[in-house]
Chain A
Amino acid sequence: MEGRPRDERELARRAQRGDARAFEELVEPHREIAFRVAYLITRNPTEAEDAVQEALLKLWRTLARFRVGAPLRPWLLRITANEARNRRRSSGRLERLTLRAAAVSSGEAAPSPEEAAVAADDRLRLLAALEALAEPARLVLECRYLLELSEEETAAALALRRGTVKSRTSRALAQLREAYGSRA
């Protein structure tokens, strides 16, 4: 594992000594990804926000156990995902992922209006197929491809072994390919 950036190590040391400002700087780069992981699990922005808030405080309280130089992000994602799983409501409407309006209407990468329309339709169908997968398959693909988490980070977030992430990703891609259509 490559070493962490020098300033992250310094921030971690300062945060471990109780420097709350250093803690803020330390976690700021991971704020958005932590929220999105929590959102993918809870499918509720308020629950996701609560999960991350609580995760940050748990991180602060347990920071003394953090090994300076180790990557912070997997640890934060693991705590955040745990909190998110605890908060996920069994009842109530779960939000579905949607595409940005521009992505649906413009087909940004397509050279002609016809191709743009086809590209936009493909994106909608792909997202619908992804959302229709069983949750374990859906989450592993969303972590790996929509959030671009590494296998290690995905394993931390989903409380899986790294080998399980690899095999589950492979199976989930096969399921998605079948659902999306043979053209993929």
Chain B
Amino acid sequence: MAFTIKVNGIAHSVDVDADTPLLWVLRDVLGMCGTKFGCGIALCGACTVHLDGTPTRSCVTPVGSIGNQAITTIEAIRKTPQGKAVQQAWLDLEVVQCGYCQSGQIMSAAALLTNTPKPSDAEIDAAMSGNVCRCGTYQRIRAAIHHAAGMRED
């Protein structure tokens, strides 16, 4: 059946089953490939998007459950002050290695800073431990989140 979803401010009508995860709607139907597939069962966070600002694993979010919630993906996160700061911090501290998980890391980090502008290490751990990075960029992710938090005050 057809669903209308709002992605990065634009409404899209998609004709898929209601149980289709948002991840595959974004990647395979809408061709927005910045959101990544990693595990399929919400264990790695590579597919993280925001639904009304809340970080959400799109691989286990049926399209039929979304309704009117605004979907934000990595392609548009720069439009939020937190997203922009996080992306800049990622560049400043050279966080990235292979880069595959980083869309999800950035989406989780941007959501964290929205709710907790000055997170402690423990708050970073709590917010980010659902995002796996096999290249092992965690130390820089932590530093970059602190860096982004500082940036927003300037």
**Is B one of A's binding partners?**
no
